[in-house]
Homo-oligomer: A and B are copies of this chain.
Amino acid sequence: MPRAGLSRDVVVETAAIMADEVGLNSLTLAALAERLGVKQPSLYKHLDSLAGLHRSVSLLAKRELGEAISRAAIGRSGSDAIFAMSHAYRNWAIQHPGRYDVTQSPVAPRDVEDEATMMSAVQVIADVLTAYRLEGDDSVDAIRAFRSLLHGFVSLETTGGFALEADIDRSFERLIRGFTVALDHWKDPVDGAQS
């Protein structure tokens, strides 16, 4: 019985790869063990439970997505940064659908590490929006709007929610442009007028 040379990180990374192939919820420990060339109970030397593995994959995914959008925003500002971040976000999600699924919800209530990871990704968005001079509630609302936009579009796209396959790129571009337009008018007074 030669050793397989596993480690916690290898197991989690492999689980993430398989999650992108079949979905995290459909990933079984038996399948994961087989890919790692090991019997199923051996995995428990590297993880505490399936739920713990899910948490680890979720944290990995949140960190990766945060890094992807952060990298895209470097050296850009304003709508330029918004477009770059949006594309980075969407591209990462399309390349990692299984991971993406578990990026937007807390893995458990009161999970400090999880909250910190998500917070640091959200902070990138907050920083980019400073160019629009939004503060306090205005900023919170804009961040939530941006996250809703991105998550909604990407979630619908990756789960097949858009009936027509064609022209999804253009629809996304349009969505982000619409958001920048809305941002330009974010602090306009509310009235019923319509052009």
Contacts and interface: CB of A to CB of B under 8 A. Distances in A.
B144 A175 contact: yes
A76 to B, nearest CB: 13
Contact of A145 (B119, B141, B155, B174): B174
A133 B146 CA distance: 26
A163 B180 CA distance: 24
Interface string A16-58: 0000000001000000000000000000000000000000000
A109 B160 contact: yes
Task: Decide if the interface of chain A is mainly helix, strand, loop or mixed.
Answer: helix
B152 A150 contact: yes
A124 interface: no
A144 B160 contact: no
Interface stretch (A1-9, A63-71, A181-189): A181-189
A25 B192 CA distance: 43
Contacts of A104: 155-156, 159, 161
A156 B118 CA distance: 13
Interface string A130-153: 000000010011101101111111
Interface string A151-195: 111011001111110011011001101111111111010101011
A91 interface: no
Interface string A107-136: 001000001001100100000000000000
Interface of A: 25, 78-79, 104-106, 109, 115, 118-119, 122, 137, 140-142, 144-145, 147-153, 155-156, 159-164, 167-168, 170-171, 174-175, 177-186, 188, 190, 192, 194-195
11 contacts: A79-B192, A105-B160, A109-B160, A141-B170, A142-B174, A145-B171, A145-B174, A148-B152, A149-B152, A151-B152, A180-B194
